[in-house]
């Protein structure tokens, strides 16, 4: 079963908005704290991982909701969250 087109488009638009919000050229020159380093690292993640991490942590969506929106299993969501978190740690260090 596929997710409705409007739902997929909404998820994509949210991702685009987050990317615009995290654009370093639009932010003031603040010291590089952990939050800034994470925001700078997010665009370097694969889209599948980045969207899931942003939906989970920024928008507080449950794994079940994310799986429903992206038309994948909860296990896939958990795997991509884990891989994305590991990749962020690697990029930040």
The chain-wide mean pLDDT, for the chain, equals 83
pLDDT at residue 12 tops 90: no
**7: pLDDT strictly greater than 80:** no
- What per-residue confidence (pLDDT) applies to 26? 60
33-76: pLDDT as tens digits? 778 888 889 999 999 999 999 899 888 999 999 999 999 999 99
CATH 1.10.10.10 fits 33-93, yes or no: yes
Residue 27 has pLDDT above 60, yes or no: no
Q: Which residue has the higher pLDDT, 19 or 87?
A: 87
pTM of the model: 0.64
Q: Are 47 and 16 in contact (CB under 8 A)?
A: no
How many Cα atoms within 13 Å fall on the side-chain side of residue 65?
12
Note the maximum CA span of the chain. Answer: 46
| CA 72 – CA 79 distance, rounded (Å) | 11
- pLDDT class for 32, splitting at 50, 70, 90? low
């Amino acid at each position: 079963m596929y997710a409705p087109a409007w739902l997929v488009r909404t998820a994509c638009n949210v991702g685009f908005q987050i990317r615009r919000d995290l654009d370093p050229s639009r932010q003031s020159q603040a010291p590089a704290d952990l939050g800034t380093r994470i925001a700078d690292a997010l665009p370097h993640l694969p889209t599948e991982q980045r969207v899931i991490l942003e939906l989970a942590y920024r928008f507080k969506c449950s794994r079940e909701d994310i799986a429903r929106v992206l038309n994948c299993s909860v296990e896939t969501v958990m795997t991509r969250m884990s891989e994305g978190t590991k990749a962020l740690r690697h990029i930040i260090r």
